[in-house]
Structure 1
C-alpha cells in the first residue's frame, strides 16, 4: 500500500461505518482518518473514527463495528465527551485501559462500550489526543481473550474542533 492510498482507505473506511447514521446528519468535514458531523435535530456534534484495520481473522471475531467519538451536546451542556464502541463484547467487570503516548487511563464501561470516568478525564484524554500519534483501548473479551482497538490520531484535533464549532449556537440556529 502506498502512502498516498492509505489516507484514501481511511476516509473510505470511515465513510462506510458512518453511512447508515448519516441520513439525518450534516457532514462538517473529513480530516485524515477522522470525520465530523452535526445532528441539529438532537442537537449534537461529534468527531468520529474507525480503528486501524486488523487482519481478516481478527475482523471476523468482532462482535461490534468499533469506533471512537468525541461529542458535544449543547442542550445538555456537555462538551468533549469521549465514547468508544469496542470491537468485542467485554467479560463482566473487565478492566478497560486506554494508552495514549506515554499516558494510561482506566476507562469505565461494559457490554461493548467504554467512556472516561468523569469530565476531568474526558478533558485530559482529549488534550492528550491533540499531541499523540495514536491511541489504543484494550480489555478482556467475553471469550477470555485480550483485544485492542488502535486509532490513528491524524486529523482528530481538527475534527474535534469542527464538531465544537458546528454546535456553536449560531451554527445551530442556521440549521433549524
Structure 2
C-alpha cells in the first residue's frame, strides 16, 4: 500500500492530538508502519493545532508535504481555509458541518465523531478503531465515544449515498 496522508486540525482543547493518537494507534493495530507529528502553535490558548498521521507499508517521514493530504479532518470551521492547502487535489475534506452537533451527547466527542467519518475512507478495520479508542480514552468515556464514532460514520455514509 502506498502511504496514506491524513492531517487533523483544529483549535487547542478540541482533541486534535487525541484524535491523531487514536488514528495512529488504529493504523498500527491494522499492521501499518505509522509516523505522526504535531504542531501545537498556541494550543494552550485556543490557537491552531494540527497533527499529521502517515501510514502504509513503509513511511519514511512523519510530515505530510503541502498539497499531499489524502484526508483533511478539521474540528473547527475557522481552521478549514487555513489548512486547505495541505489537501491534495481530489482529497477528502471532513469538517464539523458534516455532523449535527445536537446529535452528539457531548461536544467534546466531536473529534471522535469526525474520526468515525474519516473511517469511511481509510482502510482500517472498525475493530482496530474501537480498540484504539479504548486504549487511548478513559474507560468511563468508551460508550459515549463509541456512539460518537458511529454517529460520524453514519453521517459520512449518508452524505456519500446522497451524492
Tell me if TM exceeds 0.5.
Answer: no
Q: Which has the larger radius of gyration?
A: 1
TM-score after normalising by structure 1: 0.26
Greater share of strand: 1
